[in-house]
Chain A
Amino acid sequence: MSAASPAADGAMESVESFVARAEAWLPDHLPLADTTRMENGFGSDEEELANVARMRATQRTLYDAGFAGICFPAEYGGLGLTLAHQKAFDEVSAPYDMPTLINIPTFVPCGAVLLEFGTEEQKRRHIPAMLRGEELWMQFLSEPSGGSDVAGAMTTAVRDGDEWVVNGSKVWTTGAWWSDYGLCLLRTNWEVPKHRGLSVFIIKIRQPDIEVQRIEMINGSREFCQEFMTDLRISDRDRVGDVDDGWTVGRRWMFHERIAMGGGSPYTSGKPPSHGAGATGRDHLLELARETGQLDDPLALDLVGEARTLRRAASELSARVGEGIVAGAMPDTAAAIGRLMSGVVNERIRTIGADLAGSSVVAWADDDPAALFGVEFLMRQSGSIAGGTLEMARNNISERVLGMPRERTLDKDVPFRDVPKGPPAAGGETR
């Protein structure tokens, strides 16, 4: 502990003191962020693994210096400070190469879910390891047939004494090939309606009974993985929450994910580069317009100004929603508002990028300032699907914030075994 808290008498360190310590410490211990990388940068597997290793090491450095887990409780290795400390730290650390990839999903939602539902043993085993960068976690949530119907999970765990036997597949797991643990939602009961037959487990990823396959995305990224679990045995000690009550855990899990994607979670630390544009970060679109000589074109100025406007609006909105939820002035479900905003803003900004780049989206030289804006445009919908689609966010807002009637479904109060899983076969049978 090279920079122990001066508040050794038990009183909480002030935000000012904490920030002053961080400001003094950061320049000597963290490099500045490489802002020349595009958002969602990707490279070779070797580069990716080197990046992950560096991220773990940086997290450890932060931990040793007393800057990790700002809002995590002290008994699990955190600092037990407030959202104000975290936000202030985010500001001063913004120019530095922070390991923000660990924020989501390791700290949120996985760490946040363990804090709320984990056993004492689970918390002591995993949360300090997360904060030290030793355990990187992923979400084993989506399934190939599931889409947004997360509670329709069909990957099954069957109890066998003190163990469970898991069979099935999870998908869209970012970086499962270099991660350590998955928080996994599994079907433990087919005889009850879908929400009442789920349980949540901790799964160690790198082991023989899990096969991790990588998926190539439109932008060439091979971040996403699909995991096939065959007769995988896990201990009941790795169950999070009660048997068949996984949806209680799952709802909070998705709440934490939404609020983190909107930028309002207390458990994240440091700002990811895409949120940095503005006061301290780079504005790629402004630079593109400048480098391509468009700054005297009123239409280009309109587009650059629109993108900055939307980014700022998204950032102020997420701050408002985060504060509103913490203060009890907004329901937890308001997190969906920030999630929706980040999706629509990303879509629009990538369209603006394509328009400013002009025909360079079609073909480009390596040193073309517009290189990769076309690829980014192809990936435009990524932020509107990942983490729950914008349509689900809109349902959440209309139904759970505004209180409008739920959509009619055919799976309510029906044992999950009897819920239609596909179009009816000829003759009208549903299964």
Chain B
Amino acid sequence: MELTLSDDQQFFCDTTRRFLATECPIAQVRALASADAGFEPGYWRQGGELGWTSLLVPESAGGGSVSGSGVIDLTIVADAFGRHVAPGPLLPTNVVAATLGRDGSGAHADVLAGLLAGDTVATWCGAEHALGEGATRATRTADGYRLSGVSTPVEAAAQSQSFLVTARLDDKDPAEGGLGPLVQFLLPAGSDGVTVEPLASLDVVRRFARVEFADVRVPASAVVAGDAPVADDVEQQLLHALVIQAATLVGAAERVFEFTVEWAFDRYSFGRPLASYQALKHRFADMKMWLEASHALTSALAREIQDGAEGVHETASVTKAYVGHHLTELLHDCIQMHGGIGLTTDHDLHLYLRRVVTERSSFGTPADHRRRVAVLAAGAAA
């Protein structure tokens, strides 16, 4: 996160953290683990009132940010979500809200209004396309499209009222070599032919599902048409997902680092605190370095997305590669520092580890993004 926040941002940060500490302490996170949805509708509505889903949406579309830099403001929320292992579909709802907010047509204004208020939830099917791996296909029909394919894992699919689906049009002549452009639809949950199959998942309060589209009839009115070509929209969605992930990872890892440092002072072995052993102090020094570098990259990424900077895609992949890898190492190291207790579900560490691994391994692993960095650089240098 940014080293220095404006007064407004600091107030927003404090409010968000205080709300999560009060409404969703770790004990509540544990209790929600066995609840179906993983979060309470009332809690999400209050989050909507606090602005959790409005930050990437322009004021003209009903949104608004704290500082004028909505991406940076959103990292404040994501960081707090990481610190508290908070429940709720922060990532998918913001990705969808940002997309609908960019869509100047107003065709989906009612859905957007529901997301901004926290009354409804939406999710993002088709992140695979953002990484060039999507297999969902759409075919034009007389009155719209037919949609087929699978998207997995999709966060909060069973809790969502709307799905933003990315598909590749297969209307391009195969003889011309290749497939058509990307298209995005906003589908209501429960559309005929859409099957949501819940999956087992690592994070205790976030729910994921496999979503299958079997010959789904999609009316032309479901198309989401941003001002920019859809491929650019999909790229923008990935950028938003990656910066939310990075900030969540930083918040979670920083909180774990804090209580592990405290533990190192409190825990005595052989008559000395753990914090006095050079072998362990050096590992803490490495962790501090990873953490500060992760903060620095996440801030840089948030600023570049906000500014639409050239090179932002490489920055995004650099950030995911570094933060995803090193902060997962940090979590595992903190478990090592705790010894056996760190491997139990009695300790809170595993709640954080589950969140961190979830962010690390979705929307591209560190290895995926390292290769993407090289491919982008090779393309730019060619």
A interface, CB within 8 angstroms of B: 279, 283, 286-287, 289-290, 295, 298, 300-306, 308-310, 312-314, 316-317, 319-321, 323-324, 327, 329-330, 334, 336-337, 340-341, 344, 391, 393-399, 401-402, 404-405, 407
Contacts and interface: CB of A to CB of B under 8 A. Distances in A.
A340 B374 contact: no
Given A323-B3, A402-B261, A407-B278, A316 B371 contact: no
A310 B319 CA distance: 10
A313 B373 contact: no
A304 B296 contact: no
B356 to A, nearest CB: 18
Contacts of B297: 312-313, 316
Contacts of A344: 286, 289
Interface in B333-382: 367, 369-375, 377-378, 381
Contacts of A407: 278
A91 B375 CA distance: 25
A406 to B, nearest CB: 8
Per CB-CB distance, the 5 closest pairs between chain A and chain B, nearest first, are A305-B370, A398-B281, A305-B373, A394-B285, A397-B285
A283 B295 contact: no
B370 A394 contact: no
Interface in B252-280: 261, 264-265, 272-273, 275-276, 278
Nearest to B281: A398
Contact of A304 (B285, B288, B374): B374
Interface majority SS (helix, strand, loop, mixed), chain B: helix
B250 to A, nearest CB: 12
- Which of B261, B265, B295, B321: most chain A CB closer than 10 A? B321
Interface majority SS (helix, strand, loop, mixed), chain A: helix
Nearest to A407: B278
23 contacts: A283-B381, A286-B381, A289-B374, A289-B378, A298-B371, A300-B374, A302-B367, A303-B374, A304-B374, A305-B321, A305-B370, A310-B322, A313-B296, A316-B296, A320-B3, A337-B292, A341-B293, A394-B282, A395-B282, A402-B284, A402-B288, A404-B265, A404-B275
B289 A286 contact: no
Nearest to A311: B318
A399 B281 CA distance: 8
Contact of B282 (A279, A334, A398): A398
A317 B381 CA distance: 25
Given A306-B321, A314-B293, A402-B261, A394 B373 contact: no
Interface string B225-264: 0000000000000000000000000000000000001001
Nearest to A391: B282
A334 to B, nearest CB: 8
A23 B85 CA distance: 48
B284 A312 contact: no
B371 to A, nearest CB: 4
B120 interface: no
Contacts of A396: 285
